[in-house]
Amino acid sequence: MKSSELTGNEREAVAGEIDPFEAALRLGDVKGRSPWEDAWHRLLKNRAAVTAAIIMGVMILVVVIGPWVISWDMDYTDWDHTNSPPSLANGHWFGTDAVGRDILVRTLEGGRISLLVGFVATIVSLLIGVSYGAIAGYYGGVTDRVMMRLVDIIYALPFMFFVILLMVVFGRNIVLIFVAIGAVNWLDMARIVRGQTLSLKRMEFVEAARACGVENRDIIRRHIVPNLLGVVMVYVTLTIPQVILVESFLSFLGLGVQEPMSSWGALVSDGAQDMESAPWTLVFPAVFLTVTLYCFNYIGDGLRDALDPKDRL
Amino acid sequence: MSGPASGRRRKQRPVLKVQDLAVTYDIQQGGLLRRHTRPLNAVDGISFELARGETLGVVGESGCGKSTLARALLGLVQPRRGRVLWLGEDLVGLDEKTLRKKRKELQIIFQDPLASLNPRMTVHDIIAEPLWTFYPKIARVQVEERVRGMMKMVGLLPNQINRYPHEFSGGQCQRIGIARALVLNPRLIICDEPVSALDVSIQAQIINLLKDLQRKLALSLIFIAHDLAVVKHISDRVMVMYLGRAMEVSSAPNLYRRPLHPYTSALVKAVPIPDPAARRRTATSGLRGDMPSPLDPPAGCVFHPRCPYAVKRCEIEVPPLRRLPQGDWVACHLAEELDLTIVKSG
């Protein structure tokens, strides 16, 4: 397996190693291939994941650029064309809703919010979860017990109750959605990271670093976290769709974003009410939402296969 | 390497002096209810001295406390009692910061060569890490130069400096581990079964490399293994451990020719001999049963339940490690009476 990975130059180097040392040295520095690069190459071979990633990329591009290009505004009501089915003639390609707003631009604007919530909440949970979990797992003992019991306590709070409470106290606000989702999502991340850290810190290379006198924060930074990232990345790609779904759920219940802003969840909720008279108001945002969720799941699957350490070690 | 040379070395002031070292792990037992901890004496009262440039082999079955001893010497686990005197200074009970400074002089090589290298770091980063730790201000160029020098010294191609551990074979990975241990110019290296995970042909290369480096750099080595044949080749003296205790500390040639302890004799006889004729001449090892649980060690001499020569006294009285007239140490009541000679001269 090793030899098949070698390029011509490297094969020469290996051959040179057998007789003089110097002959091999003349070839100059050999470039190594990191586990990340290996994983990247494996990921590129996974057709489902690559397709999903391309679709995702196009989706993000369309969602970000689309609303600037399209001549309609998301809150503009076209009284001449209320409840219009999709039509090229009147310029509403995805049709309009009951008050004459363009569904296309609202779907794209909604996508911005949904994806933003997905990414921001995930990044927040990533930053808090990884550092929290790594510290709890690495230091262990009392530190670990106190930190993880705190996680358990927060975990025990009913999520919906927590959201409704926030809404009541602070009023409806998009920032609150980030806070609410982020506050809950990092708990899972912290638990996963802690578990991984517990097994990593028993590895001999961590012990070797300790024996060399490397300080704890450098061990966490150089040895623990980089080896966690594989698992974390897979979890992240599966968290983003989960967060988008939670936001949609909140919006569907009327606890999410507020008019005239919208998100996929809110649009699906509106569309579901007019499903019989104007199915396009439901179908288009629903399709965007589902395609996105599928893509993230496929990318996550692909990453997991590509990063699986058992394949490597 | 043998006899007189090691004798001369031993007369020097020892660099490392270990006195009555003991390490205890607390083992949690029982379910949710009636949970209690029991002490496990992994290392129980080990004492020895090590001279500059000397190699002490440590052998014993799995679970006899060899690795724990190694970790305790480096302060990676806290001993329950005893002293580890490094150049006259006790390392036990030093605070993290002072101990960290001492680690420049004491290094370790691990058993599993791949597991002891961070898979996400290049060879350069792995070997350079101790340098970064102790000389944070050192220039990048200097670090690289030193790393290349170390790679050459341990027989690696310096142009492989940007490769990752998974791109090397087990033997090469062990060389990387050795380079990392040597980069700070330590004076003592503890080798925790450094060749157990390697092929036999590679084992010889690594052992010869270690011997070579030891001579060049005047290193003291503590060489841990469960294989007597490996230890024989490299050690000046050998300590035989059983259930966390030293059974015998003898010079290497004596140990193999005339073991003092019945356990040593059993171990030596268990070494496979490639010559069938020679094999037939030696008696079989005749070691009965398994090693008892260290949670519940036998009273008296810990070896007595498996010892073919055990007498009543062995079940009651713990034999101290004592020095015999010829200079070797043994923990057996019957050492003077037993003749366990394996290879008769002539």
The domain ranges of chain B are 118-184
What residues pair up with B27 in beta bridges, in sequence order? B38
Say whether both A226 and A299 belong to one domain: yes
User: Which conformational region is residue B60 in: left (phi greater than 0), alpha (psi within -120 to 50 degrees), or beta?
Assistant: left
Say whether both A196 and A255 belong to one domain: yes
Given an 8 Å threshold on Cβ–Cβ distance, is B100 in contact with A213?
yes
Say whether both A16 and A82 belong to one domain: no
Residue B302 to residue B321: CA distance in whole angstroms: 13
Say whether both A3 and A61 belong to one domain: no
Given an 8 Å threshold on Cβ–Cβ distance, is B111 in contact with A204?
yes
Q: Is B281 helix (H, G, I), strand (E, B) or coil?
A: helix
* B171 contact A CB<8A: no
Roughly how many angstroms between the first and final C-alpha of chain A, as a whole number?
A: 13
CA-based nearest residue in chain B for residue A217? B133
Average pLDDT over residues B115-139: 89
**Residues B316-339: pLDDT tens digits?**
888 888 888 888 889 988 888 887
- Report the gap between the CA of A312 and the closest CA in chain B (Å): 8
Say whether both A243 and A202 belong to one domain: yes
pLDDT category of residue B346 using cuts at 50, 70 and 90: very low
**A172 DSSP assignment:** S
* A196 contact B CB<8A: no
* B134 contact A CB<8A: yes
Out of B104, B108, B162, closest to residue A29 by CB: B162
> pTM of this prediction?
0.78
* A152 contact B CB<8A: no
Say whether both A108 and A236 belong to one domain: yes
Average pLDDT over residues B95-109: 85
- Of B29, B31, B66, B49, the closest CA to residue B227 belongs to B66
CA-based nearest residue in chain B for residue A34? B164
φ and ψ at residue A108, rounded to 5 degrees: -70, -45
* B65 contact A CB<8A: no
Query: Which positions 75-104 of A are in contact with B (Cβ < 8 Å)?
Result: none
Task: Give B126-191 as a 3 state SS string.
Answer: HHHHHHHHHCCCCCHHHHHHHHHHHHHHCCCCHHHCECCHHHCCHHHHHHHHHHHHHCCCCCEEEE
CA-based nearest residue in chain A for residue B99? A213
User: Does residue B280 register a pLDDT over 70?
Assistant: no
pLDDT category of residue B1 using cuts at 50, 70 and 90: very low
> Is the interface score ipTM higher than 0.90?
no
User: Does residue B59 register a pLDDT over 70?
Assistant: yes
Given an 8 Å threshold on Cβ–Cβ distance, is A30 in contact with B104?
no
Say whether both A271 and A246 belong to one domain: yes
* A218 contact B CB<8A: yes
* Overall number of domains in chain A: 2
Using CA atoms, how far residue A97 sits from A262, A268, B140, in Å, is 13, 12, 64
Q: Is A133 helix (H, G, I), strand (E, B) or coil?
A: helix
A vs B: CB pairs below 8 A: 104
Say whether both A11 and A154 belong to one domain: no
Domain of A22 in residue numbering reads as 1-32
* B309 contact A CB<8A: no
Given an 8 Å threshold on Cβ–Cβ distance, is B163 in contact with A25?
no
Average pLDDT over residues B171-186: 90
Contacts of A34 in chain B (CB under 8 A): 120, 122, 164
CATH of the domain at A56: 1.10.3720.10
Residue by residue, pLDDT tens for chain A (313 residues) are 444 455 555 555 555 445 566 666 666 777 777 778 888 888 888 888 888 889 989 988 888 887 777 777 777 777 777 777 777 777 777 777 777 787 788 888 888 888 888 888 888 888 888 889 989 998 888 888 999 999 998 888 887 787 778 777 877 777 777 777 877 888 888 999 999 899 888 888 898 888 888 888 889 888 888 888 888 888 888 888 888 888 888 877 777 777 777 888 888 888 778 877 878 878 888 888 889 888 888 888 888 888 765 554 4
Strand residue runs (E) in chain A: none
Residue A77 to residue A171: CA distance in whole angstroms: 27
Contacts of B112 in chain A (CB under 8 A): 204
- Of B179, B185, B218, B194, the closest CA to residue B105 belongs to B185
Q: Is B60 helix (H, G, I), strand (E, B) or coil?
A: coil
Crossing angle for the helix pair A35-45 and A280-307, to the nearest 10 degrees: 130
Using CA atoms, how far residue A253 sits from A183, A185, A270, in Å, is 20, 20, 11
CA-based nearest residue in chain B for residue A23? B157
In the block, tokens 């003991």 appear at B22
Say whether both A200 and A83 belong to one domain: yes
**Residues B226-258: pLDDT tens digits?**
878 888 888 999 999 988 889 999 998 888 888
Say whether both A200 and A141 belong to one domain: yes
Say whether both A69 and A167 belong to one domain: yes
Starting at the edge strand that comes first in sequence, how are the strands of the sheet with B16-29 ordered? B36-50, B16-29, B81-86, B89-90
Say whether both A75 and A4 belong to one domain: no
CA-based nearest residue in chain A for residue B111? A204
**Where do runs of H (alpha helix) occur along B196-337?**
200-217, 228-234, 252-257, 262-270, 276-281, 312-316
Average pLDDT over residues B159-163: 87
Out of B129, B162, B177, closest to residue A209 by CB: B129
